[in-house]
A and B are shown apart, each in its own frame.
Chain A
Amino acid sequence: MDTLNILLMGFISIVLINNLVFTKFLGICPYLGVSGRIDMAFGMGMAVTFVVTLSGTLTWLIDHLILMGTPLEVTRYVCFILVIAGAVQLVEMYVRKFFPSLYESFGIFLPLITTNCAILGLCLFINLWEIDNLLEAVVLSFGAGIGFTMAICIMAGIRENLNLADVPECLKGAPITLITAGLLTLAFMGFAGMIR
């Protein structure tokens, strides 16, 4: 029961309170780049969720079973990025085989998941928060992916409506997206006191 409680709290906290996009500024590039249409945003979110769960788990295992306490610890970042690149390659092959139309519309953004800071960032945060339980690491990684999906879908929904709005000329494009993101962040700050 206690474990379940911790897992549930961890999940809610990483989705709503410590959402990687809103509080840690991770994954901003796709957040601004792919959030033009809601179906693409959702596809991107799913791809990131898969990669982040896989690589969060794998890097935890590598970190705890091989690297920790040995001089190899300096190679941590190199190992992490290799795992992530491998996972992304896997997703890319899968999407190309089974969802060719989605693959076309992603274009360059799919391989760029490798350089999505949300993924490496989460692996580093798991290391930093000293999560020493595999299950918790898995739940946190999955929650981070869900949180990212939620953020990017909300953003895409807003931007679809923003297309119809009369935005001042100089703020069109990226600036207004950033300001919208700022206001969204403000809204999510309301969750800050929810746990602990």
Chain B
Amino acid sequence: MANKTSSAPLLGETFIVGLWRENPVFRLLLGMCPTLAVTAAVKPAFTMGLCVIFVLLCSNIIVSLMRNLLKPHLRILMFTLTISTFVTIADLFLRAFQPTMSEVLGPYVPLIIVNCIIICRAEACASKNRLFVSIIDALGMGAGFTVTLCVLAAVREILSTGAIWEIRILPAGFVPWAAMRMPVGAFITLGLLLGLVNVATKRNA
């Protein structure tokens, strides 16, 4: 992550790294709680992903701008305060413009504050790098997170309702697996997906 130079290919690489090699969910096992909680269907998962991208981007920008002013022992506190400010903004925005989504996501929107991905990126990237690198990193990590969430949600939504993004794709005779919508489905699907990712990496290596 520590890119000293800023030539274009390196920036592109920073973006890609977040998508796959350091994918926050599959590789770093960060942000598990929203990953499991909002992935019963694709739509809330996607909304959650967008919220996280917004908060991650804004907090990375702010942290990167004030990185030279930070005192080491107050660092985490400053991160948390910055993040909670932007989460409040995102929450109010959702409540005003997407009331149904806000209802579905419930307390998981404010819980973005304690999403480890955001603090981790603030600490590992934004507090050490220039503004532009931090922005790209935020976008890459956010995109990686969103894509993962959507994949997990797609699997669960198809198996639990036979539809994806509320559009029916499986034939009417399909018997929905109710368990997929419950916490059980979340844990087991994520466990198996992680296993698949492990297999895929091993084959590539």
Contacts and interface: CB of A to CB of B under 8 A. Distances in A.
A120 interface: yes
Contacts of A168: 195
A118 B81 CA distance: 19
A25 B32 contact: yes
Contacts of A189: 182, 184
A152 B190 CA distance: 19
A185 B186 CA distance: 10
A24 B87 contact: no
B102 to A, nearest CB: 12
A14 interface: no
B24 to A, nearest CB: 12
Interface in A20-72: 22-29, 32
B191 A171 contact: yes
Contacts of B33: 25-29, 117, 121
Interface of B is mostly: helix
B110 to A, nearest CB: 5
B84 A176 contact: no
Range, interface on chain A: 35 or more
Contacts of B202: 170
Contacts of B30: 29
Nearest to A125: B107
B84 A179 contact: no
A175 B198 contact: yes
Residue with the greatest number of chain B CB neighbours at <10 A, chosen from A111, A170, A171, A182 = A182
Interface in A66-94: 74-78, 81-82, 85
A13 interface: no
Contacts of A115: 80, 114-116, 119
Contacts of A119: 114
Interface string A107-144: 00001101111011100110010000000000000000
Contacts of B195: 168, 170-171, 175
B51 to A, nearest CB: 13
Interface string B170-205: 000000000100111111101110111011001000
Contacts of A185: 182-184, 187
B164 interface: no
B157 interface: no
Contacts of B37: 24-25
A181 interface: yes
A186 interface: yes
Contacts of B106: 128
A185 B181 CA distance: 13
A9 interface: no
Interface of A: 22-29, 32, 74-78, 81-82, 85, 111-112, 114-117, 119-121, 124-125, 128, 168, 170-171, 174-179, 181-183, 185-186, 189
15 contacts: A24-B37, A25-B32, A28-B33, A78-B84, A78-B85, A112-B116, A115-B80, A117-B111, A124-B111, A128-B106, A168-B195, A170-B198, A175-B198, A181-B187, A186-B184
